[in-house]
Copies of this chain bind each other. A is one copy, B any other.
Amino acid sequence: MRIGDAAAAAGTTPRALRFYEQNGLLPPPRRTATGQREYTEREVARVRVIRGLLALGLSVADLRECRDRLDLLDGDALPPYGGPGACARPSGVADRRLAALDDEIARLTRLRDRLAARIDTRTPPVRTGP
């Protein structure tokens, strides 16, 4: 499969695949005699995993840290806490990202409340929970 079809199969673009390769998330694929990239189903699956994790807020740098385990994941669940896959163990990339998300949410919430207070005290903060 050449890069266009592989990208379409993974729901993305050729540019993204080259980008992942350049950034160490995808190993350099086999090339044809004329230099064109050839992808297997396994590599396409790995791209799907990568995109799923990116969509969850992990960064390219995060994924590069556990690139050697990216194609062991089935795209449906990270290895459980403390399990053999180290992506998710404490201080691992996923935990760090979770902590960063919590910090960011707290920061934005404080901003939101302060901004709302300066606009109009008749507009109370809106909480997303019940």
Tell me the A residues contacting B by CB distance below 8 Å: 56-58, 77-78, 80-81, 88, 94-95, 97-98, 101-102, 104-106, 108-109, 111-112, 114-116, 118-120, 122-123, 126-129
Bound-state Cα–Cα, A95 to B127, Å: 16
Rounded to whole Å, the gap between the CB of A121 and the closest CB of chain B is 8
B102:A126 contact, CB within 8 angstroms: yes
Please provide the 6 A-B residue pairs with the shortest distance between their CB atoms, ordered closest to farther: A81-B120, A101-B112, A57-B111, A78-B118, A56-B115, A88-B119
Give how many copies assemble into the complex. 2
Bound-state Cα–Cα, A102 to B127, Å: 9
B105:A108 contact, CB within 8 angstroms: yes
Bound-state Cα–Cα, A111 to B57, Å: 7
